[in-house]
Structure 1
């Protein structure tokens, strides 16, 4: 246990930051999963509604990733890698179908 006032305060601040970082990371993972499931749904039944769902989930995931990088929760290269994975999945789902139509 901490002995002086400043080290007790640092423990409280570290716990607060840990909780905030955990919520950001959880939200990023959740939004990424939603985007991947929307892409899978679009590949099964391509129509305008599912395409809109894919775009909105992609935008939400990009926004949350950018905010997490800005707050220092995740490294900028990690954020770029996650955004690249998402955009690649979306492009592979939308491009072949758009090319056939």
Structure 2
């Protein structure tokens, strides 16, 4: 258990940040799921539109530090490849 005032404050701050970061990751996952569901339906225009909306969300996650740069790049690349394969 934390004893110093600074350690107690750090625990409070960590809890707040974890909540915010969790919400950000959840939002990113939602956008990715939208792309995957559009891919599953086979509609290329919907999938391309969903991907167009998901890309800035992933980039924002990288900028905020909740997603690693290479992870976001890999996800965008794989989703783009799957969208391009629909035709």
Provide the residue aligned with 1:17 in structure 2: 17
* SS of match in other structure, 2:79: helix
* SS of match in other structure, 1:74: coil
Shift of 1:66: 0.3
Provide the residue aligned with 2:79 in structure 1: 86
- Unmatched 5+ residue regions in structure 1? none
1:21-65 per-residue CA deviation (whole Å, 9 max, x = no partner) reads: 111111111111110111222x2xx5xxx61x2222112211110
Distance (whole Å) between structure 2 residues aligned to residue 62 and residue 24 of structure 1:
14
Q: TM (normalized to structure 2)?
A: 0.90
- Unmatched 5+ residue regions in structure 2? none
Provide the residue aligned with 2:33 in structure 1: 33
> Rg bigger for which structure?
1
Q: TM (normalized to structure 1)?
A: 0.78
The alignment's C-alpha RMSD in Å is 1.3
